[in-house]
């Protein structure tokens, strides 16, 4: 790790000599749920969330982040650039609010059997003012929905105990106010999208879903 002052900015560089990244993957490494193939796609790899969280945190503080690598086996270098703070900036509005969408703050139910993905998505949404509850299967989601009264639900369609389609029908058939449901899946055929629409989903996102798209969608509700 190295820290360098460059004019009115500071560059924080993290360099390793590990597995590296395919140069073709570099433009997408900060996308939500993005994972590289080859060695990085190991069975014990993460869900593709971490760099998205890094990018959002850095961006909300007025900075930028870039990744560099010459390929597999040649290591990776990630450079975070942040503005330095001086007396002229102390009394200005917080940079954290600069990236926040204008719109209603929602109570969001996130349902995904990939625990890391569900927890990280909820954390990202809470960074932007939304209140979130997380469930990792359909039964838990129904139990939470009985008391949480979410206004929006992000549902993975492949759950261990019931399909996302069946869960949607249960959530939309309750006595309380029905939430706006959003389907998330790695499968995106026309037939699959049509089935989601028939089940009551208001929107369909194909994984990996850019966090910007999720935030824009919530701001538009």
pLDDT at 92: 43
Q: Choose among 64, 65, 123, 60: nearest CA to 93.
A: 60
- 3-state secondary structure at position 120: helix
pLDDT at 42: 44
**What CA–CA distance (Å, rounded) separates 124 from 112?**
15
Q: Which residue has the higher pLDDT, 209 or 162?
A: 162
- 3-state secondary structure at position 160: coil
What CA–CA distances, in Å, run from 192 to 25, 71, 179, 183, 213? 28, 36, 21, 10, 20
The two structure tokens encoding residue 149? 């009264």
- Please state the domain extents for the chain: 2-90, 100-220
182, 172 Cβ separation under 8 angstroms = no
CATH architecture of 2-90: 2-Layer Sandwich (3.30)
7, 82 Cβ separation under 8 angstroms = no
Domains 2-90 and 100-220 belong to one CATH topology:
no
Confidence of residue 36 (pLDDT cuts 50, 70, 90): low
Burial 190-213 (b: 16+ CB within 10 A, else e): eebbebbeebbbebbbebbbebee
In CATH, the number for domain 100-220 is 3.40.50.2300
Quote the percentage of the chain above a pLDDT of 70: 82
Taking only the tens place, the pLDDT of each residue in 110-127 is 999 989 889 989 998 998
Q: Is pLDDT above 80 for 101?
A: no
The predicted model gives 56-77 an average pLDDT of 90
Q: Which residue has the higher pLDDT, 194 or 186?
A: 194
9 - beta bridge partners? Answer: 6, 83
Report the chain's mean pLDDT, rounded to a whole number.
84
Q: Mind giving me the DSSP string for 35-92?
A: --SGGGG-TT---S-HHHHHHHHHHHTT-EEEEE-SSTTS-EEEEEEEE---HHHHTS
pTM assigned to the model: 0.59
Confidence of residue 26 (pLDDT cuts 50, 70, 90): confident
The predicted model gives 25-29 an average pLDDT of 85
Confidence of residue 76 (pLDDT cuts 50, 70, 90): very high
Highest mean pLDDT (candidates 16-20, 137-141, 174-178, 214-218): 137-141
pLDDT at 37: 52
Q: Is pLDDT above 80 for 165?
A: yes
Q: Mind giving me the DSSP string for 99-110?
A: GPPSS---EEEE
pLDDT at 12: 95
Residue 144 phi, psi (nearest 5): -65, -40
Q: Is pLDDT above 70 for 94?
A: no
């Amino acid at each position: 790790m190295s820290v360098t002052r460059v004019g009115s900015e500071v560059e924080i560089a993290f360099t390793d000599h590990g597995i590296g990244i395919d140069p073709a993957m570099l433009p997408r490494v900060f996308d939500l749920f993005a994972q590289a193939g080859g060695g990085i796609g190991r069975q014990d790899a993460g869900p593709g969330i971490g760099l998205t969280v890094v990018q959002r945190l850095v961006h909300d503080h007025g900075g930028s982040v870039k990744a560099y690598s010459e390929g597999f086996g040649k290591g990776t270098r990630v450079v975070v650039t942040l503005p330095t703070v001086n007396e002229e900036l102390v009394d200005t509005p917080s940079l954290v609010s600069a990236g926040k969408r204008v719109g209603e703050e929602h109570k969001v139910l996130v349902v995904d059997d990939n625990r890391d993905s569900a927890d990280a998505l909820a954390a990202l949404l809470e960074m932007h003012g939304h209140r979130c509850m997380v469930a990792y299967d359909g039964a838990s989601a129904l139990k939470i929905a009985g008391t949480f009264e979410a206004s929006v639900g992000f549902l993975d369609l492949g759950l261990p105990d019931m399909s996302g389609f069946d869960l949607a029908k249960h959530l939309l058939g309750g006595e309380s106010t029905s939430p706006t449901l959003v389907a998330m899946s790695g499968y995106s055929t026309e037939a699959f999208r049509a089935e989601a629409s028939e089940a009551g989903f208001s929107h369909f996102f194909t994984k990996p879903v850019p966090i910007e798209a999720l935030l824009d969608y919530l701001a538009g509700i």
